[in-house]
Amino acid sequence: MEWSWQVVYEVLPSMLDGLIVTVQASLVGALLAYVIGLFLALLKMSKTWIIAKTSYWVSECIRRTPLLVQLYFLFYVLPDFGIFLSPFVAGVIGLGIHFSTYTSEVYRAGIENVPKGQWEASRALNYNAYQTMRHVILPQAIPPMIPPLANYLITMFKETPLLSAITVVELFNAANIFSNSHYKYLEPMTLVGLFFLIISIPAAYAAMKLEQKYKPKNAG
Amino acid sequence: MIRLKLENCSRALALTVISAGLCMGAVSTVSAGTLEDLREQGYATVAVANEPPYSDIKGDGYVTGAAPDVARAVMAKLGVPELRAKVVGYGAMIPALMARRVDMATSGLYIKPKRCESIIYSEPDLCGAEAFAVKKGNPFNILTYEDIGNNKDVTMTTCAGCAEEAYALERGVSKDQIKIMTDPPSGIKMLQQGRVDVFALSGLGTADLLKNFNDPSLELIMPVMGVPMGCAGAAFNSDDTEFRNAYDQALAELKSSGEFAKIVEPYGFSAAATLAVKRDDFCPGN
């Protein structure tokens, strides 16, 4: 098997289009995961027993089933109930909801890790709930959340090829469609790997830097 | 300390030896492919697309359908009693043959000049017209690929690397209009849900899907005018000329004895249409 630059030249344009879709899907999916995850975390920490339990189990059900199955459900099953999503929209919703169950745990852990004494101190200062969150809890809770949230963005980026199952032409699918009609796999699949590396290695490096920057100062 | 390191080394060495052994084992099974080897092992591994009536894998894994049934009869004549199927998409069949992941592809893979550059075919075993599935009443009045090309609002679906994709692109359909389906039933689902306007596939394959979906809101357009009748053959690695020639000879016997017609006609294929064509009509010298 010989490496052919001709094949690289032919497949590159459609792969670059695919790369754009991949990046878009990761960013929009991550945004959804961050926002939905925050709501999910608040629901899980609710004082009302039934809300806390329900949201906990909903989140478990989503987290413990494969994303691929959820994507098929969103794309092929929901239209039968009258909910029609385009491939891209179904894809980012699937990614967003699936990963929101992970990010919600990050939020929850972040908030719960603020020492109890901080809450008591706020009460002693006669802060209301907003002031407690805004000035005491969140400034301590948010920094340690940032590195794991960034890591989930990278994980989601790597999961985007799953969207090919619901006809989203992202990076992998663009290469695969080319391979299927040209019978060449070496160059397109190598390029897929390279493109993912080109983006995920710097991203992982940035996440590592974030981790160092936001290392909890009161640790130990 | 040194002893510990040595121990690690020998463990690593043992692992390397084991994995090298495994690799060699894998390589030797992959390189098996000639008829002699198949006779010895008693079965041939065939690629099928699971697209009835061309090929059909039953719930228990038994492979049937017109193409595998013909291949089974031919291979029985050649002394290989069993076929074991691997489900492979049409687009991936040629790479699978070239990489020797399968011994043959018996799934109604059309004989096309571009494919003949990479693989070799038997004489044609199944011929059929092309079809579209559209919404009832054919709202965009699509009868040919040119009709799709002329109306850029219309979208179609077909399988990755299928002949239909090439037919469409050659006849003025733009790439943006083609949404590649993951498998034929999902393609019909996309048509039902209005994600695409036209579903394109082999005539009998499309007819079979519509029969199974039994959806009165869909309509079959067959034959599609302006495209050649698709003729398929069993496909082989291009080094297996000897095997292919033996296959051809046994297939010819099957055709002349009338057994061939008995196999393909219950599936809706015309034996006469197939007997009227030769491989050289599609790929001279393949």
Q: Which of residues 94-153 of A touch B (CB under 8 A)?
A: none
CA B250, CA B252: separation in Å to the nearest integer? 5
Please tell me which residue of chain B has the smallest CA distance to A76: B189
Domain shared by B142 and B182, yes or no = yes
Asked if A167 is an interface residue toward chain B (Cβ–Cβ < 8 A), one would say: yes
Residues 6+ apart with CB under 8 A from A40: A55, A59, A100, A101, A104
Give the range of the structural domain holding residue B107, as residue numbers without chain letter. Answer: 35-127+230-278
How far apart are alpha carbons B73 and B264 in whole angstroms?
11
Say yes or no to pLDDT of A20 above 60. Answer: yes
Asked if residue B283 is part of any domain, the answer here is no
Q: Do B197 and B62 belong together in one domain?
A: no
Does residue B109 contact residue B115 with C-beta atoms inside 8 Å? yes
A115 within some domain? yes
Q: Identify whether residues B39 and B121 lie together within a single domain.
A: yes
B104 in the same domain as B239: yes
Tell me which residue in A76, A84, A167 faces B180 most closely, judged by beta carbons.
A167
Q: In this structure, what CATH number is given to the domain that contains residue B252?
A: 3.40.190.10
In a domain, B5, yes or no: no
- The whole-angstrom distance between B197's CA and the closest CA on chain A is 15
What's the domain count of chain B? 2
pLDDT digit string (tens) for B176-214? Answer: 999 999 889 999 999 999 999 999 999 999 999 999 999
Total domains present in chain A: 1
Domain identity same for B136 and B194: yes
Q: What is the ipTM of this complex?
A: 0.76
Q: Which residues of chain B are under the pLDDT cut of 70? A: 1-33
Q: How far is B185 from chain A (nearest CA, A)?
A: 11
Share of chain A above pLDDT 70, in %: 97
- Using an 8 Å CB-CB cutoff, list residues of chain B that contact chain A: 89-92, 94-95, 98, 118, 160-161, 165-166, 179-182, 186, 189-190, 193-195
Statement: the pTM of the whole predicted model exceeds 0.90: no
Does residue A196 lie within any of the structural domains? no
CATH code of the domain covering residue A54: 1.10.3720.10
Cα B195 to Cα A171, B28, B214: the distances in Å are 21, 46, 19
- Is the residue at A174 inside a domain? no
Residue B11 included in any domain: no
Tell me whether residue A2 is in a domain.
no
Answer whether B134's CB lies under 8 Å from B192's CB.
no
Q: Which residues of B touch A87 (CB under 8 A)?
A: 195
Is B284 within a domain? no
pLDDT the model gives residue A40:
95
B120 domain-assigned: yes
Contact B189 A167 (CB under 8 A): no
Distance CA B91, CA A169 (A): 16
In this complex, the residue of B95, B165, B182 whose CB is nearest that of residue A167 is: B182
What pLDDT is stored for residue B31 in this prediction? 41
Residues B213 and B255 in one domain: no
In the sheet that holds B235-237, the strands lie side by side as B82-87, B43-48, B104-105, B235-237, B119-121
Q: Considering the domain boundaries, does residue A177 fall inside one? A: no
Establish if A84 touches chain B: CB-CB under 8 angstroms: yes
Using CA coordinates, name the residue in chain A closest to B112. Answer: A181
Instruction: Find the domain containing A42 and state its range.
Output: 23-169
Residues B77 and B216 in one domain: no
CA distance B235 to B44: 13
A112 by Cβ neighbours in 10 Å (0-12 / 13-18 / 19+) ranks as exposed
Instruction: Give the one of A87, A181, A183 whose C-beta lies nearest to B165's C-beta.
Output: A181
Element of type H or E holding A140: helix A138-159
Domain presence at residue A219: no
One domain, residues B174 and B198: yes
Domain assignment of residue B264, yes or no: yes
For A21-62, what is each residue's pLDDT tens digit? 999 999 999 999 999 999 999 999 999 999 999 999 999 999
Contact A175, A191 (CB under 8 A): yes
From B221, B250, B270, the end of a domain falls on B221
Band (pLDDT 50/70/90 cuts) for residue A209 is very high
A113 vs A165: CA distance, rounded Å: 39
Per-residue tokens: B69: 């049934």
Query: Min CA distance, B68 vs chain A (Å)?
Result: 22
Predicted pLDDT of residue B89:
85
Residue B23 within a domain: no
pLDDT reported for residue B160: 87
Q: What are phi and psi of B230, to 5 degrees?
A: -85, 125
Least confident among A32-46, A188-202, A206-220, B255-269: A206-220
> Which of B115, B164, B182, B189 to mutate: most A Cβ within 10 Å?
B182
**Mean pLDDT, residues A139-166:** 94
Flag whether B96 is in a domain. yes
What is the average pLDDT value for chain A, to the nearest integer?
Answer: 93
B188 shares a domain with B139: yes
